[in-house]
């Protein structure tokens, strides 16, 4: 399986080697993937991601992996696991999400769903020497929505169904919106047991104007008054 990893970083080009993603990829055998990393990024992720959903990419790659630059992929079987899911007719593979959800505010995937419907696992740093693994629920599970830290997609499925990221979003809610679009288009999504360490603890400030503006866009699109 030929994979293109697409990511973006606020770091300048000389500092990209220090990102957790690039650090982790140094352990993988050459030839498993190609990396498209945008440096000094201030552009919304949807616009960047959409620029790689093209006929040329579809003809060359079997997998498009959209992943955050602060994700350390700690699993040398990562690509084999994604490929196995693709062979099982899954179009989008993620790490954590929910099998069903009620679209409401606050618009965070784990707050729009009941814990019994959660699936997946993600590790985060606990201190300088240990990690903490959050186990959401059993995997693999078909999902309605998934976290955008790691989304592996069949590019030909996205092209065939004309699925794109909504460029009205920047860094928040784009992932939930993308998942809802995939499901509405008939694409199948699932979590998978891929080991990663996510350097970020998640949303730091739900009261920031940037987040609130994004949440209002999401509510206008999905939440019924």
Predicted local distance difference test score (pLDDT) of residue 202: 59
Three-state DSSP at 183 gives helix
Residues 67 and 7: beta-carbon distance below 8 Å = yes
Give the E-state strand segments of 50-110 in sequence order.
63-67, 71-73, 92-94, 96-98
Please state the separation of Cα 86 from the chain's center in Å: 16
pTM for the whole structure: 0.93
Let me know the angle formed at the C-alpha of 223 by 93 and 138, rounded to the nearest 5 degrees: 30
Predicted local distance difference test score (pLDDT) of residue 146: 97
Predicted local distance difference test score (pLDDT) of residue 113: 94
Predicted local distance difference test score (pLDDT) of residue 13: 75
- Structural domains in the chain, sorted by start: 3-222 (3.90.550.10)
- Rounded to whole angstroms, the Cα distance separating 111 from 103 reads 10
- Which residue ranges of the chain lie beneath pLDDT 50? 204
């Amino acid at each position: 399986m030929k994979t293109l990893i697409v990511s973006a970083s606020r770091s300048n080009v000389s500092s990209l080697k220090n990102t957790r993603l690039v650090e982790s990829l140094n352990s993988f055998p050459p030839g498993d993937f190609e990396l498209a990393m945008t440096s000094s990024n201030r552009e919304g992720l949807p616009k960047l991601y959409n620029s790689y959903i093209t006929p040329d990419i579809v003809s060359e790659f079997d997998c498009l992996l959209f992943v955050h630059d602060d994700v350390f992929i700690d699993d040398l079987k990562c690509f084999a696991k994604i490929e196995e899911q693709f062979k099982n007719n899954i179009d989008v593979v993620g790490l954590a999400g929910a099998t069903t959800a009620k679209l409401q505010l606050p618009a965070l995937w784990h707050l729009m769903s009941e814990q019994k419907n959660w699936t997946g696992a993600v590790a985060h740093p606990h201190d300088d020497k240990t990690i903490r693994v959050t186990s959401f629920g059993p995997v693999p599970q078909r999902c309605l929505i998934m976290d955008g830290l790691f989304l592996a997609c069949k590019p030909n499925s996205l092209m065939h169904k004309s699925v794109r990221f909504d460029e009205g979003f920047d860094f928040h809610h784009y992932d939930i919106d993308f998942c809802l679009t995939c499901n509405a288009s008939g694409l199948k999504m699932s979590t998978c047991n891929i080991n990663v360490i996510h350097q970020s603890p998640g949303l730091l400030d739900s009261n920031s104007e940037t987040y609130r503006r994004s949440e209002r866009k999401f509510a206008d699109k999905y939440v019924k008054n």
